[in-house]
């Protein structure tokens, strides 16, 4: 049996995921592999480095900092989130990422990106935790229209949520057969068509396959949710989701709001803890 953890993205809804994963780490719950998408990648990597509290800490500390995320950064650089500050200054100067522990931890950590030339998902195993791996994590969280395309290893990449928002099927293909899925939307959520497609059709006109993927994302997403619910009902997958809509801004500037969503994640995980342990131990 191989245990897997799948972490959905969702910008600052990712604070819910951070609350969940911190509780799991505090209770010594481990997995053979984990895969993160977008916010699930850039925050979820702390699961492999075993750094309880790090993601909520630095998000609260720097959410108001223009270097972290601002329209000023978007206008000047084409990236809403400041690349240098987010992926170099914070992890290697201000709130150190434990790369040594990351490398020693046997859990495999994957990220999901979207190839803008094909519109298809690309999955990358992040073994080192620095260098190219950091770029793959950044690409996974590079939201269309507010991020520059990330070119790495011959790919042109953007947000993994476009190609595969919740890569449960991919993990099953890799042999992970006892999976836990952390969602950032409540049970009754139905994704609607992207309302920014008119803007995307202009901004990404060189990449018709990417536009097609964006146009139909809501269809694929809702089908994936149906698949997850069916497996959940059969006891074949364990799902942790918010009890209600989190209602938090994509670039939330209020530390109290970040903490609120983080605590919802913690409380949800605590309530599900015994059930989760039983699921992971079941033969």
- Asked if the model's pLDDT at residue 135 lies above 70, the reply is yes
Domain boundaries, the chain: 3-281
| Mean pLDDT, all residues of the chain | 97
- Asked if the model's pLDDT at residue 283 lies above 70, the reply is no
Per-residue pLDDT, averaged over 16-32, amounts to 98
Q: What is the pLDDT of residue 67?
A: 95
pTM of the entire predicted model? 0.97
CB 74 within 8 A of CB 80: yes
How does strand 121-125 pair with strand 108-115? antiparallel
Topology annotation, domain 3-281:
Cytosolic phospholipase A2 catalytic domain (3.40.1090)
């Amino acid at each position: 049996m191989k245990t897997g953890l799948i972490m959905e993205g969702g910008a600052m809804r990712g604070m819910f995921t951070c609350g969940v994963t911190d509780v799991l780490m505090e209770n010594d719950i481990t997995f053979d592999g984990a895969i993160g998408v977008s916010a699930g990648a850039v925050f979820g990597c702390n699961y492999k480095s075993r750094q309880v509290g790090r993601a909520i800490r630095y998000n609260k500390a720097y959410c108001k900092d223009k270097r972290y995320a601002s329209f000023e950064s978007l206008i000047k650089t084409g990236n809403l989130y400041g690349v240098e500050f987010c992926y170099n200054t914070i992890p290697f100067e201000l709130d150190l990422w434990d790369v040594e522990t990351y490398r020693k931890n046997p859990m495999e950590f994957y990220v999901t990106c979207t190839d803008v030339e094909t519109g298809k998902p690309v999955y990358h195993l992040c073994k080192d935790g620095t260098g190219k791996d950091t770029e793959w994590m950044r690409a996974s969280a590079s939201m269309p229209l507010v991020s520059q395309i990330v070119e790495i290893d011959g790919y042109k990449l953007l947000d993994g949520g476009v190609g595969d928002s919740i890569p449960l099927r991919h993990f099953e293909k890799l042999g992970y057969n006892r999976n836990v899925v952390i969602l950032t939307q409540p049970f009754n959520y139905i994704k609607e068509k992207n309302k920014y497609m008119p803007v995307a059709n202009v901004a990404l006109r060189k990449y018709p396959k990417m536009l097609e993927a964006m146009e139909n994302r809501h269809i694929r997403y809702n089908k994936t949710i149906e698949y997850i619910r069916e497996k959940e009902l059969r006891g074949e997958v364990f799902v942790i989701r918010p009890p209600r809509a989190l209602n938090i801004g994509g670039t939330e500037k209020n530390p109290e709001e970040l903490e609120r969503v983080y605590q919802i994640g913690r409380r949800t995980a605590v309530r599900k803890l015994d059930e989760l342990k039983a699921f992971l131990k079941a033969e």
